[in-house]
């Protein structure tokens, strides 16, 4: 995959996972994803397409135990790559907000690329699993992404009754909100903060 614009690569190895990840903010929605966690792969593909990013992941983890370490560590690597790719954040919009419906479900994601990591999620998923994927890992992935990217991330699942649809709406909204927040605004001189830095 040839990457353009703001991008970064992360290579992370632990006793539980080995992850190579490359992320481009200024992409075309291209993916090359080998995560070992099929539902997460599906969600990351949606996130990338709707954010118009480029994302390559080659992850090997202890999925014979469960999907936790792999999912969490991919969130860590993606957050680190996002933070590195944005550099000093000069000229970005900083804030992003997206509502996305998926059939009966409606999700909203609001982002501030503030350098002050925080994560909130509101909403209840009806089921604890989607196929073999443990739904509590959605929280783990998003929290580690927000922490490592040093962003303020708020997720609201307004309603829905199909857990797959609800999570899908979240990841699509995440892509669209992050796309907005990372856009270069020609009116912005320096960084969008009265502090003079983010």
Name the pTM for this structure.
0.96
Q: What are phi and psi of 172, to 5 degrees?
A: -65, -45
Q: What is the pLDDT of residue 78?
A: 98
Q: What is the pLDDT of residue 100?
A: 98
Q: What is the pLDDT of residue 5?
A: 75
Instruction: Tell me the per-residue pLDDT of 86-116, one tens digit each, with 9 for 90 and over.
Output: 999 999 999 999 999 999 999 999 999 999 9
| Closest C-alpha to 43, from 17, 75, 20 | 75
Based on C-alpha coordinates, what's the Rg of the chain? 16
pLDDT at 52 over 90: yes
At residue 8 the predicted structure's pLDDT band, cuts being 50, 70 and 90, is very high
Q: What average pLDDT score do residues 167-178 get?
A: 98
pLDDT at 1 over 80: no
Q: What is the pLDDT of residue 4?
A: 58
Please state, rounded to an integer, the average pLDDT across all residues of the chain.
96
Contacts of 193 (CB under 8 A, 6+ apart): 94
């Amino acid at each position: 995959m040839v990457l353009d614009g703001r991008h970064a690569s992360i290579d992370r190895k632990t006793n539980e996972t080995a992850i190579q990840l490359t992320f481009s903010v200024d992409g075309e929605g291209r993916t090359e994803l080998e995560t070992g966690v099929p539902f997460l792969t599906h969600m990351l593909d949606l996130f990338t397409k709707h954010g118009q990013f480029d994302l390559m992941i080659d992850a090997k983890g202890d999925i014979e135990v469960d999907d936790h370490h792999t999912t969490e560590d991919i969130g860590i690597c993606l957050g680190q790559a996002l933070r590195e790719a944005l550099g000093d954040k000069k000229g970005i919009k900083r804030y992003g907000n997206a509502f996305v419906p998926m059939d009966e479900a409606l999700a909203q994601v609001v982002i501030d690329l503030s350098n002050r990591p925080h994560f909130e999620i509101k909403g209840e998923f009806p089921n604890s699993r989607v196929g073999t994927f443990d739904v509590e890992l959605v929280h783990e992935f998003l929290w580690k992404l927000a922490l490592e990217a040093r962003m303020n991330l708020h997720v609201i699942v307004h309603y829905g009754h199909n857990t797959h649809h609800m999570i899908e709406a979240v990841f699509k909204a995440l892509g669209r909100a992050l796309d907005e927040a990372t856009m270069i605004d020609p009116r912005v001189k320096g960084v969008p903060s009265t502090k003079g830095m983010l």
